[in-house]
Amino acid sequence: MSFISIHPILIIVVVIMNQTNKSSTVFTLVDFSSFTSSSTSSTTSTKVTPVQYETAKEIHNINKHHGFVCLRNSGIPKHHIQSTFDISKKLFELDYNIKNKSLKQINPISNTGYVGYQNEALNCNRKADLKEAFNIRHTSFDNDDLRYTPPMLDDITKSLWEDLKILGTKFAICCAIALGLDDIHYFSKTLETMDLCTLRMLHYPPCNDTDITENGIDKKESCSIRVGEHTDFGIFTFLFIHDFHDTSSLGLQVKTVDHIEDETQSDHVGSYSDMSSPCWSDFTFDKKSLELIDNDDTCAVIVNTGALMARWTNDIWRATAHRVIVKPESFPFHRYSIAMFFDPDKETLCSVHPKFIEEGHEPKYGPIRSIDYLLMKLKEAQEVKRM
């Protein structure tokens, strides 16, 4: 199958179509240049500019409702994302035996290496996900075993890792400002070593009749579910999806706060029967917005909050459930994405901040170490049900 060249540009405006009433919600892109421009780029300063306050306020208003935001002017060069997509494609084109026998295989302890096709289920209540992945950690604490991977993968991903480390620190500072915390480095100082942060390259192969039969097809939506409903585990996630003009890139769906059933559990994932719920909303893209983002010097980034951020804020910010589906017109196509998961440093004790506990009320969540929470969720994901 011929490969459609990968386009590193993300959206400036995201339109979500509700499948129940066909209404739409426009997710406005947030200009993040007040945090990434040279005049305001310090990650150690305690001074906050008026423009940064406005940016943070906009992100706060968005995260109270759906937890997904799209950042423009990220500071990440477009060619860094393009190069990573290109090397990712080469990685997943390796021979089956090399990928499944020679490459380092993932386990919950290291959380690095290759994840074979259908060897993971991000929703433990349903069957294995229709994807393969490769996880990397470029830190002084991890010696990634990259033997048998394509040449230049190490250099390319290290370059992107450095970009994401800088952006992640700045976004963590923005989050603290947005939530009105006195210490604007409250979150960023939990990312000093980044020993639990993970860069993940993902590949969703074309679906065939067997996939659709075994993994279930939603008769109401006429789609097969590639990745079941889940919330991300950490503080926040950066997501890059290639060419949004290409139907093979589509398939990300989210569930807004209004449709979350269990208001006390932001790391809740639905049961198999919940997969056919009519509350799912598609990402679609505004043509004018795509044209505008094409003219930016740096790429845009989709960001969503994770379960540990929800625990820290006592659900002031929610961890939004999302999934990946494939509709019939996209069955023959490959889908690629890149994610960076920001989890607090291993020994960080994540407990509800006092600011978010009402007088006379108990916090919704008890304290837990970052490493303990991540291991618990990874073990759930990698204990795949072979039904």
Q: Is residue 123 part of a domain?
A: yes
What global pTM score does this model have? 0.85
Q: Is residue 114 part of a domain?
A: yes
CATH number for position 128: 2.60.120.330
DSSP annotation of 239: E
What's the pLDDT score for residue 385? Answer: 46
Of 175, 173, 172, 160, the C-alpha closest to 64 is 175
Q: Is residue 8 part of a domain?
A: no
What's the pLDDT score for residue 218? Answer: 44
What's the pLDDT score for residue 216? Answer: 46
Q: Is residue 6 part of a domain?
A: no
Task: State the average pLDDT for the chain.
Answer: 80
- Would you say residue 367 has pLDDT above 90? yes
Q: Is residue 5 part of a domain?
A: no
More confident residue, 44 or 106: 106
Taking only the tens place, the pLDDT of each residue in 170-207 is 999 999 999 999 999 999 999 999 999 999 999 999 98
- Is residue 36 within 8 Å of 167, Cβ to Cβ? yes
Domain that holds residue 371: 13-382
More confident residue, 42 or 266: 42
Taking only the tens place, the pLDDT of each residue in 28-87 is 678 999 999 855 546 667 789 999 999 999 999 988 887 888 898 999 999 999 999 999
Taking only the tens place, the pLDDT of each residue in 122-177 is 777 777 888 999 999 987 666 678 999 999 999 999 999 999 999 999 999 999 99
- Would you say residue 222 has pLDDT above 70? no
> CA end-to-end span of the chain, whole Å?
30
Q: How confident is the model at residue 227 (pLDDT cuts 50, 70, 90)?
A: confident
What's the pLDDT score for residue 19? Answer: 40
- Would you say residue 276 has pLDDT above 80? no
Domain count, the chain: 1
